[in-house]
Amino acid sequence: MLARTDTPRWIVAILSWPALLPLVRIPLTSAFLIGGLQKLIDFPAAVAEQAHFGLQPAWLWASATIIVELVGSAVVITGRWVWLGAGGLGVLTAVAMFAANNFWTMTGHERFMALNSFFEHLGLIAGFVLVAVMSVRTPLPHPATAQLHSLEDSHD
């Protein structure tokens, strides 16, 4: 169980729930899963998107993006090689952040929107770093022992 004296017990109980980390990995990667599937289904549009942002050869960037989005999401969700999936998705997000949100070249409302998106992407990268750190510090319990650990923690 987590041990912070300034945190209410009910919050500690929620944050200690064994299924919480695996569960939140799904929405964390959802944009990449959906994006990867969309790009896979409409590959010409994926190539056009990469070309639009000046990434050449566009077909190679589109292919790499699909692989990183789908495989990276899968490994983050399953809890295996999380560092690799989170790292790949973080690097992909950084590339997108600089290619698509170059607010320093814009003015007005366009700059405002790009600046917000840039820092939203930065926050997402930080989220991937935290997921990787958590996966190293608290590996996913084996399904057969997760319930046992949960019961032991409730007696503290």
In this predicted model, what pLDDT tens digit does every residue of 16-51 receive, in sequence order? 888 888 889 999 999 999 999 999 999 999 999 999
Summarised one tens digit per residue, pLDDT across range 108-135 is 999 999 999 999 999 999 999 999 998 8
CA-based angle 40:131:24, to the nearest 5?
70
Q: What is the dihedral of CA 118, 115, 37, 43, to 10 degrees?
A: -110
Choose among 142, 25, 23, 127: nearest CA to 76.
25
Q: What is the pTM of this model?
A: 0.81
